[in-house]
């Protein structure tokens, strides 16, 4: 992705809950929501023409530095979930996302994740220009 490419700030995907993602009560295990959020982030970038693999090949890594989730209702095996991902803030070295998980019109969870950009040695790096430009773009 280059500086002239416009990146989305919001995106949504659908995920069907698999049996192995549930606990003994038949609910999605709480830790699996963070896997769903990662899928949402990855697909947001991909839908914009970006690719985490290319970022990593260029020496930039994106790491989670803060994550929180409020669980409102349980998801169950075979539920069709919609994961809504939104970039809410970008600073020189961090990217903040918000997530909403829905089953139909019912909200099941909401979350926030903060990512930092680092090099392979773990030193903080600037967010790439094409991502930083999102701050100035209006969201619909």
pLDDT digit string, tens, across residues 17-76: 999 999 999 999 999 999 999 999 999 988 887 788 888 998 999 999 999 999 999 999
Tell me if 90 sits within 8 A of 62, measured CB to CB.
Answer: no
Residue 140 known to be catalytic: no
> Catalytic one among 23, 78, 105, 140?
23
88-113 pLDDT, tens digit each? 999 999 999 999 999 999 999 999 99
Tell me if 100 sits within 8 A of 59, measured CB to CB.
Answer: no
Domains of the chain (ranges; CATH) run 10-136 (3.10.129.10)
Provide the Cα torsion 100, 102, 105, 106; round to 10°: -100
């Amino acid at each position: 992705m280059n500086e002239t490419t416009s990146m989305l700030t919001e995106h949504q995907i659908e995920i069907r809950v698999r049996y192995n993602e549930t606990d003994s009560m038949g609910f999605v295990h709480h830790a699996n929501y963070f896997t769903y959020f990662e899928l949402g982030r990855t697909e947001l970038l991909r839908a914009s023409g970006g690719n985490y693999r290319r970022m990593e090949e260029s020496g930039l890594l994106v790491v989670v530095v803060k994550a929180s989730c409020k669980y409102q209702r349980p998801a169950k095996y075979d539920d069709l979930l919609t994961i809504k991902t939104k970039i809410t803030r970008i600073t020189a070295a961090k990217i903040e996302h918000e997530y909403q998980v829905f089953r139909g019109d019912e909200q099941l969870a909401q979350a926030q994740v903060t990512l930092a950009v680092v090099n392979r040695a773990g030193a903080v790096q600037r967010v790439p220009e094409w991502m930083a430009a999102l701050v100035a773009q209006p969201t619909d």
